[in-house]
Amino acid sequence: MGVKLGAIKRKPKGFAALFDVQRGRYLVQFGFLAAITVIAVRHALVPEGSAVSPPSPEAYCPFGGIETLYKYVATGGGFIHHARLSNLIVLAAMLVTALLLKSAFCGWVCPFGTLQEWLMGVTRFLERRFRPVARFAKTMKARTKGLAAMDRHLRWGKYLVLAYFLYGTILVGRMVFRPYDPYNTLINITEATLGAGLVILIATIVLSFFVDRPWCRYLCPLSPVVGLVGKLAPVKIERASEYCKACAICDVKCPMNLPVATATRITAVDCNNCLKCLGICPRGGALDLVLRWPWSKPPAPHVPELITERGGS
């Protein structure tokens, strides 16, 4: 039985609760994180100089495909060092996913995004269980409230990172981003040395206990690529103002701190399609996942027709 539009949604119980979207998303995240962990461990355990070596986890990074794409096209099939055909295949799969499902790659697949999200989950778990932790978190938020105003400006950092390192890669013909990439440092942690990549990785891990997805939000060069391509996707999140009661709980739940409660359609590049806003919304029909052409306008709010009686003279 469907939920009445505008009415309070009932919380699923029993067997139906097992089919929660977020539970499914966590399983998908776990699957990809476990897969890349197994690949990284197998690669690290192979002795140096071995005749047979399993593929490096770098072979499955889509940003490697972006970095080598120019050389691949310009030379008719050449690759920069550390890049492989698999990088281009994963890049193509990511772009197809973005064209169909917006930024679902970031919210459902990316292992580094998953790690950051789960670290913040640890903080929220501790806040719920231990009052001193909750008080400390509340105090820190109050003291850093002024920094929140910088959030919108800091998000431009990822575009600068993307432009700078793509230009550098094309110019010198090698992965200039690699020494600074925290994800690359993590998947090759047994080979890591004290350098920029390790420092950025440690900073990202620490910040992830206090800020939702700090690397994704401010510095990830892959995020704008996925987000901009995802604008062409037919899948949209729309808010029906006639059913929304402006409780703003969706804003609180959004890991990317987007203004969901005041938007008609979520078009922000930073939206990773985690669908947490849909799951937490208490009103039926207030937030919906719909299919729309990229150029279509959001539907106008439905206003019930007023029936009046004309009095006689």
pLDDT over threshold 60, residue 269: yes
Q: 4: left (phi > 0), else alpha (psi -120 to 50), else beta?
A: beta
Q: What percent of the chain has pLDDT over 90?
A: 55
Instruction: Answer yes or no: are the C-beta atoms of 140 and 229 closer than 8 Å.
Output: no
Question: Does the structure show a pLDDT above 60 at 73?
Answer: yes
In the chain, DSSP finds a helix count (H) and a strand count (E) of: 14, 2
Residue 15 burial (C-beta neighbours within 10 Å; 0-12, 13-18, 19+): exposed
Per-residue pLDDT averaged across 260-283, rounded?
92
pTM: 0.88
Q: Indicate the pLDDT class of residue 53, thresholds 50, 70 and 90.
A: confident
Q: Tokens 């994800």 belong to which residue?
A: 183
Chain segment 130-168, per-residue pLDDT in tens: 888 888 888 877 777 777 778 889 999 999 999 999 998
**Mean pLDDT across the chain:** 87
Alpha carbon distance 155, 224 (integer Å): 10
Domain ranges for the chain, please list them: 22-43+53-228, 235-291
Res 305 pLDDT > 50: no
For 133, other C-beta atoms within 10 Å of its C-beta total 15
pLDDT tier for residue 312 given thresholds of 50, 70 and 90: very low
Q: Residue 290's closest CA among 281, 279, 280, 278?
A: 278
- 144 in Cβ contact with 207 (< 8 Å): no
Contact by Cβ (8 Å): 71, 169: no
SS3 content of the chain, % helix, strand, coil (to 5): 60, 5, 40
Residue 126: CB partners within 8 Å, gap ≥ 6? Answer: 133
Query: May I ask the CATH class of domain 235-291?
Result: alpha beta
Alpha-carbon span 86 to 11, nearest angstrom? 43
Q: What are phi and psi of 292, to 5 degrees?
A: -140, 150
Phi, psi of 237 (to 5 degrees): -105, 120
